[in-house]
Amino acid sequence: MTAEVLDGRLVAKTVREETARRAAAFRERTGRPPGLATVLVGEDQASQVYVASKRKNAVAAGIADFHRHLGERAGRAEIAAVLAELAADPAVSGILLQLPLPNGADPGELIELIPVAKDVDGLTTASQGLLARNRPGLRPCTPSGVLRLLHEARVPLAGAEAVVVGRSELVGRPMAQLLLQEHATVTIAHSRTRDLAEVTRRADVLVVAAGVPELIGAGHVKAGATVVDVGIHRTGSGLVGDVRTAEVARVARRLTPVPGGVGPMTIAMLLANTVTAAESRHETTEGGRIR
Ligand code: NAD
């Protein structure tokens, strides 16, 4: 068997086009575009590239760009003041604090300053609580991108055995919650899991977000499974994921590539979340007027 490749670039393009149409309709209705504020602290190269790409894609989708770049030495009070200002600005629909912060600073309390209605990364305790309770809210971008890819490929989820490798707040945990809401039977494997291959071989749907290059091989995968590789690692020979793609492709039925799988979906879902945030805010304000 050679696995079907789930093309994240193609699905991401569809999501961006949908989002651009929704952004245009929002602008038509309200007289102003949805707005995304990206907050970058310091000079981390990878973060600069990610933020530039988010801003460029947002503008291309008709979303107004409110970028703030703070110096490496910006303290908590300075970052908090910027977040408070963006929280109060009615033109800003969504706020994203780019992580990691410099010098390994804990972003915990700062993230909580983002109002739940503008939390387009879905990382606040309030957003994660809404997700855990299956209430409407903004969902973290990478796991919701994975779910969209699975839906587009019509992968059956109800009743399926789903295994998520990784339990981070950014990917693994919310991924497991989303799959649970799709009625999958969900198992979370992590760094302390005793026999990883024994657990992952149960999966009809295997989502790998361990951050360990090429951790998952053919021996970890049930024949006919759908395998989603969230990992991204820069190596001497290019980008690789958490999955040994060539050997897993011989066992799996469907597989996401790296690059071109989950990566492009993350930014597309961020844009979709920003428009959703703008729409929800508009609907919940009196008479549709933004206050
Ligand atoms: P993380 O380091 O916060 O979490 C990794 C998780 O994997 C942990 O919960 C840990 O328990 C588990 N783990 C580690 N080693 C393991 C092992 N040997 N066996 C089983 N479980 C193990 O990472 P993260 O933020 O969740 O990201 C995971 C990967 O996804 C990284 O490679 C990251 O670069 C990538 N990522 C990609 C995107 C994207 O847009 N494609 C977005 C976010 C993260």
Domains observed in the chain: 31-115 (3.40.50.10860), 141-264 (3.40.50.720)
Residue 168 CA from chain centroid, whole number: 12
Q: For the segment 86-119, what is each residue's pLDDT rounded down to a tens digit?
A: 999 999 999 999 999 998 889 999 999 999 999 9
Contact between residue 208 and residue 165 where contact means Cβ atoms under 8 Å apart: yes
Distance from residue 153's CA to the centre of ligand 1 (Å): 24
| pTM tops 0.85, yes or no | yes
Of the given ranges (30-34, 221-225, 285-289), which has the lowest mean pLDDT? 285-289
The CA-atom distances, in angstroms, between 244 and each of 89, 163, 205 are: 46, 17, 16
Q: pLDDT at position 290, please?
A: 47
Catalytic residue among 54, 204, 229, 242: 54
Ligand 1 near 231 CB (within 6 A): yes
Q: pLDDT at position 286, please?
A: 46
Class of residue 210 by CB neighbours under 10 A (exposed 0-12, middle 13-18, buried 19+): buried
The span from the CA of 155 to the CA of 150, in Å, is: 5
Phi, psi of 111, deg, nearest 5? -60, -35
Instruction: State mean pLDDT over 187-200.
Output: 98
Instruction: State mean pLDDT over 149-171.
Output: 98
The alpha helices in the chain, defined as continuous H runs, are 8-30, 45-60, 76-88, 108-111, 125-132, 141-152, 172-181, 196-200, 245-248, 262-284
Catalytic annotation on 222? no
Catalytic annotation on 13? no
Minimal-distance CA residue to ligand 1 atom 40: 263
- Residues 6 or more apart whose Cβ sits within 8 Å of residue 133: none
Ligand 1 near 285 CB (within 6 A): no
Residue 283 pLDDT grade (very low, low, confident, very high; cuts 50, 70, 90): confident
| Among 214, 212, 162, residue whose Cα is nearest residue 188 | 162
Phi, psi of 14, deg, nearest 5? -60, -45
Ligand 1 near 176 CB (within 6 A): no
Q: For the segment 19-34, what is each residue's pLDDT rounded down to a tens digit?
A: 999 999 999 999 999 9
Tokens of 41: 């602290």
Phi, psi of 45, deg, nearest 5? -60, -50
The span from the CA of 131 to the CA of 141, in Å, is: 13
Catalytic residue among 121, 204, 229, 242: 121
Ligand 1 near 172 CB (within 6 A): yes
Residue 160 pLDDT grade (very low, low, confident, very high; cuts 50, 70, 90): very high
The span from the CA of 255 to the CA of 104, in Å, is: 34
Q: Which residue has the tokens 């190596």?
A: 235
Ligand 1 near 149 CB (within 6 A): no
Q: CA Rg, the chain, in Å?
A: 19
| Per-position DSSP letters for 24-44, written without gaps between them | HHHHHHHSS--EEEEEEES--
Q: For the segment 38-87, what is each residue's pLDDT rounded down to a tens digit?
A: 999 999 999 999 999 999 999 999 999 999 999 999 999 999 999 999 99
Tokens of 227: 């395998």
pLDDT for 291 beyond 50? no
pLDDT for 180 beyond 50? yes
The span from the CA of 232 to the CA of 287, in Å, is: 45
Residue 279 pLDDT grade (very low, low, confident, very high; cuts 50, 70, 90): very high
Distance from residue 8's CA to the centre of ligand 1 (Å): 19
Q: pLDDT at position 282, please?
A: 84
pLDDT for 256 beyond 70? yes
Residue 289 pLDDT grade (very low, low, confident, very high; cuts 50, 70, 90): low
The span from the CA of 54 to the CA of 48, in Å, is: 10
Instruction: State mean pLDDT over 120-147.
Output: 98
pLDDT for 285 beyond 90? no
The CA-atom distances, in angstroms, between 18 and each of 23, 58, 147, 208, 264 are: 9, 13, 17, 27, 15
| Among 92, 88, 70, 90, residue whose Cα is nearest residue 79 | 70
DSSP class of residue 216 equals B
